[in-house]
Structure 1
Amino acid sequence: MSLSISHWSRLYGDALGSATLKQELHDFIVEEQLGFEPSGEGEHIFLWLEKANLNTAFVAESLARYSKLHLRDITYAGRKDKFALTRQWFGVHIANKKEPNWDDFELQGAKILQVTRNDRKLRVGVLKGNKFEITLRNLTSTSKDYAEFDICALEQRLELIKHQGAPNYYGSQRFGEIRLTAKDTEQVTATARLLQGGNLALAEKLIGGESIRNRNRRSMAISALRSWLFNEIIHQRIVQQNFHHPLLGDAMQLSGSNSFFMFEDEAEHADIIKRLAEFDINITAPLWGDGKLHSTATTRALELNCVTPFPDIIQTLNSLGLKQERRAIRIIPQGFTWQIEDNNLMMQFSLPAGCFATSIVRELVDV
């Protein structure tokens, strides 16, 4: 089995052209939004840390070595992009041991900006969301009909995303990336510059029954496999032109919550449409696992048709002890603003935790 990520449909049509992403360090800035303020007291030290070209797990390992603690005593609310400038909280449970001098912590690419305390442990999942500042450089037309990039079409596409949202695809980071370099970059095709691999390749081994001993790599493989199937269902809803249109049997998620309810009465259709337009609710798709598929009627049939071609994936996910969950198929960027200058696009917006800014970018251009 070979799992591809290149065929997933865009919601608003083909890419408007191409652009360069992450050409400079400040072109992709991510700032964590906890949703609460640390109390300032307690046995848990909270570090507000800025990092560049470092992954979250590596920083956690470095903090553990510096503070002479077990890795389990270093926590964070969520992982952040490696190839970006990011700011996030790390939690350090130091208990009765002497607190190190954080001013002396040295790690190239990392800087502690603030030290405070909290009365509760920083746990994965407590994160409210992330704020993004993204710059797309060198907007270039790839159309045979237009030599120059169509700025008007870009403005229209941005307005569509602002007022109707974008597909809540898991980004390519979830599936792993293999970055290639060459002395003569002209000989490296756009396809070869960035190839999928990593986590999806591990996932395929998992499907084949191979054991992955490294816990972190095994976890990433499982996550990639589950995310791939979720993306496949979004793709099918776009292809069938019912991404924005509720179907009988849809599980509707309340915005800002994991709670959902079933749309099973046609008499409620007008109200459901209104609530979707107001961003009060979102249509969901399954994060696959063992147990009952929550959708019913038309939606249940659609989702089963989507996953039926992949019995090995279904069997693997069912066997791992994962339970059926739901995730919104649409993301709405909050505080979405942008500026277009000198053939560059600068965007600012916030997304809920677990959503990928690259899924917004994907609706605009190829990068």
Structure 2
Amino acid sequence: MTQDMSSSPVSPLPDWARSLGQAPHSGRFREFPEAFQVEEQMSFTPEGEGEHLWLHCEKRNLSTAQLIRHLSHQLEVAPRDIGVSGLKDHTALTLQWVSVALTGRPTPPGLRDHIEMDGLRLLDAGRHPRKLRRGVHRANRFALYVTGEAVAEGSLEARWHELAAHGVPNYFGPQRFGHQGSNLTRARALMARGWKKKQDRDGFLLSSARSFLFNQVLSARIEQGNWASGLEGDVFNLEGSASQFAGEALDDALRTRLAALDIHSTGPLWGRGDSGVSGEARALERTVAEREPSLAEGIEKAGAAPMRRPLRLCLQSPELERDGEGLWLRFSLARGGFATAVLRELFQHPAL
């Protein structure tokens, strides 16, 4: 379905700063499911034996939650016995792995006919000793078809090449905060009362609160002009790795590595305890947290451990192809990256 810009609701979330400034033209995306394609990229495949049946699924107009419910019913297992590495979009064509615990049970005969339905195809299947855990995929490969004024006027292509060369702000996308920011609204209320596991069993509200503070820090650093060039006291993340280190003095060697996209400054996933930053970086993050005391204090009282997330994303293997009145954008993002963070740098749209 085409997203009608004139009737789309205005997001209550802040209009966080963009690295390239406000985009001059509007655009459209996700006009039909095949216009937003996502493929999970794993660094391993099922071993061929074990108690868990791994399924490589292609889904169209189907959320990951709907997929889990369907497999739970068809294979007669509890939803908790189904594992996924990540949640994939509903209005999209997505490829992802799912594991199903079949302890002591063989793979059902006629598996494909048993689980396929409208919007769901089984691409591959194999047994594996372990359940699929969240966040084990290496990256996501996107193929996005975009149209609109930004394509016609050519501003999108120029901005795309800037992002490919210099990286993208690693914002959490609007889907992290729920429809019209509903998860964040609920998180504020829950933090004010005192976070309790039974009121947030999956941790979505806690995650929404931490994501909001991260985005606030990233936006402040873009406005200050140091999100990509570093700040005294930063903790840095090595590109393509989970490895992090404290930089202490921001010397020429670190600046050279930042410019080469070899390392990235990080921002906080707020928690109780030392986050590792110092100096100017710590002062900035404290200032942001002081503006949101109920969220910051609520997260700390919930016992969340502090973590760090890169402020910058690299577009891996970026490709741009003109097709009729639109453009295909193809790129990979490390796990945890949001394609919507890329799109909001390229054009204006109410959902971004």
Same fold (TM > 0.5)? yes
- Worse-superposed segment, 251-260 or 196-205: 196-205
Structure 1: distance between partners of 2:97 and 2:14: 34
Corresponding residue number in structure 2 for 1:38? 46
Corresponding residue number in structure 1 for 2:62? 54
Corresponding residue number in structure 2 for 1:255? 239
Corresponding residue number in structure 1 for 2:173? 171
Which one-letter code corresponds to 1:161 in the other structure? L
Corresponding residue number in structure 2 for 1:65? 73
User: 1:126, CA displacement in angstroms?
Assistant: 0.9
Structure 1: distance between partners of 2:144 and 2:106: 40
Structure 2: distance between partners of 1:112 and 1:41: 19
Corresponding residue number in structure 2 for 1:187? none
Q: Which segments of 5 or more consecutive residues in structure 2 lack a partner in the other structure?
A: 1-10
RMSD: 1.9
Which one-letter code corresponds to 1:358 in the other structure? T
Which one-letter code corresponds to 1:33 in the other structure? Q
Which one-letter code corresponds to 1:207 in the other structure? M
Structure 1: distance between partners of 2:249 and 2:192: 42
Which residues in structure 2 correspond to 1:103-182 (within 5 Å)? 103=112, 104-137=114-147, 139-140=148-149, 149-151=152-154, 153-177=155-179
Equivalenced residues, count: 336
Q: CA contact under 8 A between 1:16 and 1:154: conserved in structure 2?
A: no
Corresponding residue number in structure 2 for 1:295? 277
Residue 314 in 1 paired to residue 317 in 2? no
Q: CA contact under 8 A between 1:171 and 1:358: conserved in structure 2?
A: yes
User: 1:35, CA displacement in angstroms?
Assistant: 1.3
Change (3 A) 1:125 1:298: same
User: 1:149, CA displacement in angstroms?
Assistant: 4.1
Change (3 A) 1:42 1:97: closer
2:26 is aligned, of 13, 18, 22, to: 18
Which residues in structure 2 correspond to 1:209-228 (within 5 Å)? 209=193, 213=198, 215=200, 219-228=203-212
**Once the two structures are superposed, what CA deviation does each residue of 1:317-351 show, in whole Å capped at 9, x if it has no partner?**
01112111000000001000102343312100000
Structure 2 SS opposite 1:18: coil
Residue 352 in 1 paired to residue 334 in 2? yes
Q: Which segments of 5 or more consecutive residues in structure 1 lack a partner in the other structure?
A: 142-147, 178-195
User: 1:307, CA displacement in angstroms?
Assistant: 1.3
Structure 2: distance between partners of 1:37 and 1:270: 42
Structure 1: distance between partners of 2:12 and 2:299: 18
User: 1:215, CA displacement in angstroms?
Assistant: 4.5
Structure 1 SS opposite 2:187: helix
User: 1:4, CA displacement in angstroms?
Assistant: 4.2
Structure 1: distance between partners of 2:67 and 2:347: 32
Structure 1: distance between partners of 2:160 and 2:108: 47
Q: CA contact under 8 A between 1:206 and 1:212: conserved in structure 2?
A: no
Change (3 A) 1:198 1:109: farther
Corresponding residue number in structure 1 for 2:214? 230
- Worse-superposed segment, 156-165 or 270-279: 270-279
- Worse-superposed segment, 238-247 or 205-214: 205-214
